[in-house]
Amino acid sequence: MDVGVVSRSFPQLSNKETAKLLAKKGFKWTELCFSQSDSNYWVYNGRSDMDSLSNERSTEIVETYRTNGIEVTSIGVFTNLLEPNEKENEKNLTYFERLMEIASINNVPYVSSECGFIPSRRGVNSDTYESAFQILVENVKWLADKAKKYNVSVALEPCVLDVVPSAKRMDDFINQVGSDRVKVLLDPANLIANNSEEEMFSYLTPHIAYFHGKDRKVNDTYGRVIGDGDIDWPLFFNMYHKYTEGVPFIMEYVNIDNFCDIRDRVVKFDEMAVMLK
């Protein structure tokens, strides 16, 4: 099975060093977050000043991976799409649009994000449950219109910790936004507390852009590397091959010391998957 890994697993390396390492170790895909030592722009749940990242420089970076045989599946944004302050929200959307433009210029099909969150108030809060969800709907509708302009798609990552905490809720959300430019970045670890492996594919298969590969204990807040949590990986990969063959599977939560070992776990689980009916 082909496997990828997110570029932000290697913040100590340059883009050239990262691309060469992934190629040497036999990886196929990456989610590019502009998080390397020579392009340090990525801010989780926030934004950065990208004035110094020109179109030409973005192309140099993307082509560095491609010339080493690594496909850039997505530009990772991961800003806050739930910001209640109107001016800050506009800045977040402008930041997101700039990364859409970069994806478009470089023929990268997806720009990806979680819902985002307000620090210290992550998750479902009864006093903001409906209003936060509506902010997300309106923001993603706006992004979907921009995505059509740039000929890219938005891959949104649902999570049990956020206002889209289940596969069904994600399917409902896509229907409410009403755009085929909105896809799913499916991370099974983010949904395992609310959905079985079968339910994830049942609700989301038609919408899946690509996968994140990590694990989680059902009652944990934070994720773990593949094989250290409660996901039934042979079952998951059995359904992967049945319903989403060839869709990029990109590991995260790994680092330069363990990413090959965790990839080997993926390969072992995938070999076990073929024995399932």
Q: Is the pLDDT of residue 109 over 70?
A: yes
The torsion defined by the Cα of 126, 130, 131 and 136, in degrees rounded to 10, comes to 120
pLDDT per residue as tens digits for the range 12-45: 999 999 999 999 999 999 999 999 999 999 999 9
Q: Render 160-188 in DSSP notation, one character per residue.
A: TTSSS-SHHHHHHHHHHHT-TTEEEEE-H
pLDDT at residue 120, rounded to an integer:
80
Mean residue pLDDT of the chain comes to 96
Q: When comparing pLDDT for 253 and 125, which is higher?
A: 253
pLDDT at residue 32, rounded to an integer:
98
Please identify which residue in the block is written with the tokens 């082909």: 2
In this predicted structure, which of 70-84, 117-131, 146-160, 199-213 has the lowest mean pLDDT? Answer: 117-131
In this predicted structure, which of 83-87, 113-117, 272-276 has the lowest mean pLDDT? Answer: 272-276
Q: Render 126-161 in DSSP notation, one character per residue.
A: TTTHHHHHHHHHHHHHHHHHHHHHHT-EEEEE--TT
Report strand pairing: 4-5 vs 39-40. unpaired
Q: Who's near 50: CB < 8 A, 6+ residues apart? A: 41, 95, 98, 99
Task: Set out the domains of the chain in order of their start, with CATH numbers.
Answer: 4-273 (3.20.20.150)
155 backbone dihedrals φ, ψ, rounded to 5°: -105, 110
d(CA 123, CA 166): 12
Q: When comparing pLDDT for 122 and 58, which is higher?
A: 58
Q: Is the pLDDT of residue 277 over 70?
A: no
Q: What is the pTM of this model?
A: 0.96
